[in-house]
Amino acid sequence: MPQHIFSDYDNAIRHLQEDLLTMASLARQNLEQAMQALLRSDTDLANTVIAADSDVDELERKVDQIGMEILVRFHPVATDLRLIIASMKISTNLERISDHAVGIAKRARKINKDQPMQEVQWLEPLYALAYALVRDAMDSYTNHDPVLGQALHAKDKELDRLHKQLGRNLSNQLETAGTRSDAWLHLIFIARSLERIGDLSVNIGEETVFLESAKDIRHEHRKQAVDPNPPPQ
């Protein structure tokens, strides 16, 4: 990042980025611990995730506050403007990822009240892919890598495919479940959360592409799916 003549401007941008990266690290940790709470039947860990969410919420407020202050004070343009806008949007996505992690932790806590279910492991591949999407999304932002940011969409499609497949299996189990129908329902919602985390990661990747190359690729894949002959750029 080039230095500005006005050092306070650099300080403000540095604070914004530091808070955003802290937020990303906490959101990833919350997701990781929420899924460990499920996969290892660890209710204490689930409680830890639920308690930690307020830190992410606070950071989201802080990123927005700093972003607003930078907009008001320094009137950023070009890459600076995109950096501020993209960072604020990314923080919203990270907060929602953390919310999903909390949702998973709460459902894990409920499932853990009964006998351990071996079938929770069915969610592991979905989780691995969702986690990789979050990691790659933040890597694309920190490494200024729009190619990686754009590539997330393909990975998300794979996540959607896995989710559909797993959703069918879980629904089948729910239909035949006896006393543990609640647990199967929780697993369906956890799978849904993991799929949404993939979507939110794609959003972060799209913001990185916007930040690095000033291209707005949101909804592009949907447009292309509808229109096989898009107009020349």
Which spans of this chain sit near other proteins (rule: CB under 8 A)? 4-9, 11-12, 15-16, 65-66, 68-70, 72-75
Residue 9 or 189: the one with the smaller Cβ distance to other proteins is: 9
Pairwise CA distance, residues 38 & 22, whole Å: 24
Residue 12 contacts residue 6 (beta carbons within 8 Å): no
What is the SS3 assignment for 160-222?
A: HHHHHHHHHHHHHHHHHCCCCHHHHHHHHHHHHHHHHHHHHHHHHHHHHHHHHHCCCCCCHHH
Residue type, 41: S
Residue 11 or 171: the one with the smaller Cβ distance to other proteins is: 11
Tell the smallest beta-carbon distance from residue 29 to other proteins (Å): 23
Task: Please choose, from the candidates 104, 121, 128, the residue with its C-alpha nearest in 3D space to the C-alpha of residue 43.
Answer: 104
Centroid of chain to Cα 215: 21
Tell the smallest beta-carbon distance from residue 101 to other proteins (Å): 27
Residue 59 or 130: the one with the smaller Cβ distance to other proteins is: 59
Residue 74 or 141: the one with the smaller Cβ distance to other proteins is: 74
Tell the smallest beta-carbon distance from residue 58 to other proteins (Å): 14
Tell the smallest beta-carbon distance from residue 76 to other proteins (Å): 11
